[in-house]
Structure 1
Amino acid sequence: MKKTEISIQKITNNDFLECIDMAALEAVYDVYLNCSKEFRISCTPENLEELIMGRLYTENRISGTEEMKEIIIREQEKEIHIKTEKEAGESQKKNQGKKKCYEGEAMTLFAAADKIFENPGELFRETGCAHCCALWKDGEILCCFEDIGRHNALDKAVGRALLQRVSLEDCVVFTSGRVSSDYLQKIVHAEIGTVVSRAAVTDLAADLARRNKITLYGFVRKGKGNCYSKETFSGKGGSA
C-alpha cells in the first residue's frame, strides 16, 4: 500500500469545502547493519528489500548480493535488520571505471525518456507526491519504481537489478528528479555510465559526471535536453 485517504479543506475563492484527498504514504524505518543502528530512512513503504539492497550498494557498503546474508523487516517496530559478510564500510567494488556510455545516442535516449516521463505511475497520478526512476538497457525498460524520495526510487531500481543478477554496467538511469552531487555519487558507486533526468543538474553533479566519465543529460523533455558530460562538448552525443 502506497497511498491513503485523508481529510482536507479545499479552498477556492475564499470558499472552504471539506473533502477527501489521496496522500502518499510515508514510513520511517530504523536500519540496523550487523546489529548496529546505521541510519533512518523515510520512504514509500513497499519494495523494501530492493530499497535496502540498492542503498547499501550505492553507498558502497556492499559490493554485491553475495555479501548479503539476511534482511529482516519488522513492520510493527518499523525496523530493518541486515546481516552481511563484512563489517560496514569494508566493501570495495571491483572493475570501477568500466562503464558503457551512450555517446551519440541522445535522440534514442530522449525518445525513451518521453515514454517514461510522460506516463507517470499510479502514486504520482493520484497524489502528485512521487519521483520515478527507471533502468533502461538495450532499448527496453528493465524496471521502474516510484517513491516519495528520488534517492529511494534510484535505490529500488538498482536493488531490483542486483537481485535479478542484471549487470548495471550497461544500464541507463532515467530519473524524474534533479541530479545533485550526492545523487550522482550513488551513480558512481553503482558503476552506471549514463543518467537522463527530466529535471535540473547542479554544477557539482556536472563536474562529478565529467571526472568519472559519466554521460549526464538534464531537462530532457519532448525530444530536447542538455548534456553536461565532456563527450558532448567534443562533438559526440546530443545537445538541446
Structure 2
Amino acid sequence: MRIFSCLKLDGDGAVEGVHPVVEETPLSIFINGRHFATAMTSPAMAEEFVAGHLYSEGIVGGLEEIESLVVEEKVVKVVLTNPIRAIRSKRPILSGCGGASSFLDESKLGKVASDLRVDRGDLRAALKEISISKLHKATGGVHSVGLFYNGGVICKVEDIGRHSALDKVIGRALLDGIRFEETFVATTGRISSDMALKCSRAGVAIIASRGATTSLAIEIAEHTGLSIVGFVRGEKMNVYTGRERIRGW
C-alpha cells in the first residue's frame, strides 16, 4: 500500500491528513510473443495470477502446457504448447454481473467430480480466516480469497479484484500440485457467474461467501456440480446448490 494526502471531512470540520491506499498496477501478459491481455491487479503474486488465470479460463489444461512463464517487472511472458486457445474469441460474459444462461455452451462447462464433505463450522472458520486482513483494515480496498483443504488453509490472497484473488489462489495451488476436488474456496466478495465458472473449470468443490450470489452463478453451478454457499454470517448461511457436501443439517 501507499500513503496519499487527502482532505478529511467530519461533520462541519475539515483537516489535512494522509491515508493508506491499496496499490493497483497494470500487468501485461504476452503469450508466445503476442499480447494477450493487460490485467489491473495488486502487484504481488504475478506468476500465480497468470498461471491461475490461464487454468481457470480453460486456456491451459494443466502446468504441462506451460513451457515457460517469466515475470519481468510489469510484464509476464508465457510460452504455451498450444497457444491457439489464447487467441480464440472471448466469452460474452465479461463482468459477471449480468447476461443469460443462453450464452453458455453447457457442453464446455467444467464438471466438478468431488466427494468432499465439510461441516458448517469449517465454512465459518474459513470466512473468519480470510476476514482477518490488516491491509483491508488499513485501506478498505481489497477482497480476500482463500483456498482450504481438510479444515486448513492452503493459500489466502488479497487483491483489488475478487477474480484476480481467486486466480492467484488457484495458481498457487496449481504450482504446488494440489488436488482441487479436495478443496473449497472462501471469498469476501459476491459469487458471480465468472467466479462460479473459474471454480468449476478448476474442479473446486465448494465456494462460500459472506456476501450474495447471482442467479447466473447458481444456474452454472447446477450444471457443473459446484456447491454455492452465500451469506455465511454467524450461525446463518444459504446453501444454493450442492447441499449434499454440507454436513450438519
Scaled to the shorter chain, the TM-score interval is 0.7 to 0.9
Residue 211 (structure 2) aligns with: 199
Structure 2 stretches of 5 or more lacking a match?
A: 87-109
Deviating more after overlay: 177-186 vs 221-230: 221-230
Question: Among the aligned pairs, what percent are the same residue?
Answer: 30
Say if 2:118 is the partner of 1:99: no
> Given the superposition, is the C-alpha separation of residues 170 and 227 from structure 1 closer, same or farther in structure 2, using an over 3 Å criterion?
same
Residue 112 (structure 1) aligns with: 125
1:87-139 deviation line (CA, Å, top 9, x unaligned): 1418xxxxx53522545x442333323432442x2321210111111111111
Residue 35 (structure 1) aligns with: 33
For this pair of structures, how many residues does the alignment match? 226
8 Å CA contact 2:228–2:242 kept in 1: the answer is no
Q: 2:79 aligns with which of 79, 83, 103?
A: 83
Residue 18 (structure 2) aligns with: 20
Q: Equivalents in 2 of 1:168, 1:30: separation in Å? A: 27
1:23-57 deviation line (CA, Å, top 9, x unaligned): 00000122111111111100000111000000000
Q: CA RMSD of the aligned region, Å?
A: 2.0
The one-letter code sitting in structure 1 at the alignment partner of 2:186 is F
> Given the superposition, is the C-alpha separation of residues 81 and 54 from structure 1 closer, same or farther in structure 2, using an over 3 Å criterion?
same
> Given the superposition, is the C-alpha separation of residues 230 and 215 from structure 1 closer, same or farther in structure 2, using an over 3 Å criterion?
closer
Q: Equivalents in 1 of 2:84, 2:9: separation in Å? A: 50
Residue 71 (structure 2) aligns with: 73
Say if 2:49 is the partner of 1:51: yes
TM-score scaled by structure 1? Answer: 0.87
Q: Equivalents in 2 of 1:16, 1:207: separation in Å? A: 49
8 Å CA contact 1:9–1:16 kept in 2: the answer is yes
1:8-36 deviation line (CA, Å, top 9, x unaligned): 11001232211111000000122111111
1:53-104 deviation line (CA, Å, top 9, x unaligned): 00000000111111112222232xx3221111111418xxxxx53522545x
Please give the secondary structure, in 1, of the residue aligned with 2:85.
coil
1:195, distance to aligned residue in structure 2 (A): 0.7
> Given the superposition, is the C-alpha separation of residues 174 and 88 from structure 1 closer, same or farther in structure 2, using an over 3 Å criterion?
farther
Q: Equivalents in 1 of 2:173, 2:123: separation in Å? A: 22
8 Å CA contact 1:114–1:223 kept in 2: the answer is no
8 Å CA contact 2:127–2:210 kept in 1: the answer is no
